[in-house]
A = this chain, B = another copy of it.
Amino acid sequence: MRLIQYNSQKYTDISGKDVAALTTTIDNDCINWIDVEAAEEQVVKQIAAYFCLHEMIIEDILIQDHLPKLEIFENHLFFTLRMLYYNSKDEELNEEQLSIVLGENYVLSFQSGIEGDVFDNILADLKLGKGIIRKEKTDYLFYRILDAVIDEYFNILELLREQIETLEEFILSTPHPSEATVGQILELRKKITLVRKYTIPLKDIVSKLKTADSKFINPGTITFLQDISDQLLLLNTNFETFREMLKDLMELYLANLSHNLNRVMKTLTIVATIFIPLTFVAGIYGMNFENMPELHWKYGYFIIWGIMLLLALLMVYYMKKMHWFE
């Protein structure tokens, strides 16, 4: 748990585990940002009591399986969304719930996990007083938090784009389809479905926020929220394109599979069609009938060789005409 207090003059950053101690240092002349990692029920309830939050909000913070949502109360504004991190080790997407309460001079952020390096940039800017962040109200801080989360989405977008392109190149260059490919396509599709599950409602909610007419959202912030909106639209459009690409890859893969089967069957047919009739001819003259005139001809054996060669050539010619060797 961490309390960051700032205004255009000052900046303090206190870490602590005791809610009571922390809340006593709250200064109404500053913006007070309390960031809680791995939020526990006890802590959430104490903070909620201090800031008089609605009972429903406490529940929403504690239950971690939400879609993004926005609720507007008279004295504060509640926003919950999903942070996603790409874990490069096991190539999984890690999820973390982030709940934000926005009051007149306080911002509360509750994270369900502890992987919160997303806020590092904001903290650095706050400390150094870089940009306009120290001069603006809580809504600008809120915009910065949203922006940081969405930047992480863009990282995931780029990682997925890379993986899709690698996969596409692999499928196009490997005409012998491997079974693992379907798994990879489905894995990517699943990740995209997961991200879209959160980004699509987020877009609606940011739009709602823009027109919300809440006293906590200053007109100047609307432009920044519009920017967030544009970025979310770009995200969603890109994910839509990725889905199309994966669908195309699946089709390509299945067409390759069909092609492969065709090629294998062609080989079998070519070999069988040439040699089965020849084997039959050889079988004929392997029969033990007493009266088989051809066997006694002087050049019978060589004539048969000739006939068989002719037969084989005819077959090959026919196959060539049917484009089977292509």
A positions within 8 Å CB-CB of B: 54, 56, 59, 65-67, 69, 71, 172, 175-179, 182-183, 186, 189-190, 193, 197, 201, 223-224, 226-227, 230, 233-234, 237, 241, 244-245, 248, 250-262, 264-269, 271-273, 275-280, 282-292, 294-301, 304, 323-324, 326
Contacts and interface: CB of A to CB of B under 8 A. Distances in A.
A66 B234 contact: yes
B252 A186 contact: yes
Contact of A54 (B223, B256, B275): B223
21 contacts: A59-B227, A67-B237, A69-B230, A176-B326, A177-B259, A186-B252, A189-B248, A197-B237, A250-B251, A257-B258, A264-B269, A265-B265, A268-B272, A268-B273, A271-B276, A275-B277, A278-B283, A283-B286, A288-B288, A288-B292, A292-B301
Chief secondary structure at chain A's binding surface? helix
Contact of A301 (B237, B255, B256, B287): B287
Contact of A264 (B176, B260, B265): B265
Nearest to A227: B56
Given A257-B262, A261-B265, A264-B266, 10 more contacts: A54-B223, A71-B226, A179-B259, A186-B252, A189-B244, A190-B248, A254-B258, A258-B258, A268-B268, A285-B289
Contacts of A297: 289, 291
Contacts of A255: 182, 253-254, 257
A73 to B, nearest CB: 9
A262 B262 contact: no
